[in-house]
């Protein structure tokens, strides 16, 4: 399935703001509780970071597990991947690809990190990336989703003319239903309105493969 025009324009925006975004978003521990909950006590776990962006979660992963030998970051923005490499993290594996057809074998990853990964994917297109996430997740694996909570889909203007991105909003019921339909078992959904400095609500969901 080809990516949409809205997604292409959003990628262009990320290419334009990649380095300035990396410098501005310096708090690598933003998602620390969720990454710890996802991975638990597993040492050096196999983890796919979908929409890895400028490598903020890669830096967090390395701080927790000491190396990145079982970490893979995937993004479609060349600018963001270049910015991630500026972090000069050890053994950083980065892949340029979209989420509609992941370039990995079935059951490759024990954990999949999908934080703000699908917030630009139109709802009409959501089945394909969810199917790919399920396919590449191991039978005993777990995935974490962070979505923008709300209703509808719209363009969001940033601080510069080049920073214009397409945003998709989900209610808890709506997104959990999409996960269930696509073969996931939902765990611990919640809406967080406290951590984002802008006051934006995030829908946080852990999920496993349904039996």
pLDDT tens per residue across span 85-120 = 988 898 899 999 999 999 999 999 999 999 999 999
Res. 125: pLDDT tops 90? yes
Q: Which helix (H) or strand (E) holds 206?
A: strand 202-209
Closest CA to 176 of 130, 128, 129: 130
User: Considering the chain, what percentage of its residues have pLDDT values greater than 90?
Assistant: 66
Task: Determine the pLDDT at residue 44.
Answer: 83
Q: How far apart are CA 136 and CA 83, in angstroms?
A: 26
Q: How far apart are CA 176 and CA 71, in angstroms?
A: 27
Question: Angle CA(122)–CA(31)–CA(45) in degrees, nearest 5?
Answer: 95
| pTM listed for this prediction | 0.92
Res. 26: pLDDT tops 80? no
Task: Determine the pLDDT at residue 93.
Answer: 95
pLDDT, tens only, 40-64? 888 888 999 999 999 999 999 998 9
Q: How far is CA 143 from the centre of its chain?
A: 10
What phi, psi does 6 have (nearest 5°)?
A: -60, -40
Q: How far apart are CA 52 and CA 117, in angstroms?
A: 8
Give the dihedral sign, CA 85/116/142/100: negative
Binned at pLDDT 50, 70 and 90, residue 182 comes out as very high
How far from 168 is each of 47, 85, 116, 123, 137, CA to CA, in Å? 25, 28, 10, 7, 24
Pick the more confident residue, 115 or 23.
Answer: 115
């Amino acid at each position: 399935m080809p990516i949409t025009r809205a997604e292409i324009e959003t990628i262009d925006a990320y290419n334009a703001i990649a380095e300035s975004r990396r410098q501005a978003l310096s708090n690598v521990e933003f998602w620390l509780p969720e990454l710890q909950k996802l991975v638990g006590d597993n040492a050096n776990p196999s983890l796919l970071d979908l929409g890895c962006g400028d490598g903020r979660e890669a830096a967090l992963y390395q701080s927790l597990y000491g190396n990145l030998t079982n970490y893979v970051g995937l993004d479609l923005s060349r600018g963001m991947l270049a910015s991630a490499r500026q972090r000069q993290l050890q053994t950083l594996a980065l892949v340029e690809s979209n989420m509609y057809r992941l370039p990995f074998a079935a059951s490759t990853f024990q954990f999949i990190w999908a934080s703000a990964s699908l917030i630009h994917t139109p709802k009409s297109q959501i089945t394909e990336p969810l199917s790919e996430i399920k396919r590449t997740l191991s039978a005993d694996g777990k995935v974490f989703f962070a979505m923008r909570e709300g209703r509808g889909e719209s363009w969001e203007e940033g601080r510069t003319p080049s920073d214009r991105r397409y945003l998709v909003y989900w209610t808890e019921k709506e997104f959990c239903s999409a996960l269930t339909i696509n073969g996931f078992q939902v765990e611990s959904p919640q809406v967080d309105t406290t951590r984002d400095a802008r006051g934006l609500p995030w829908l946080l969901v852990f999920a496993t493969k349904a039996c």
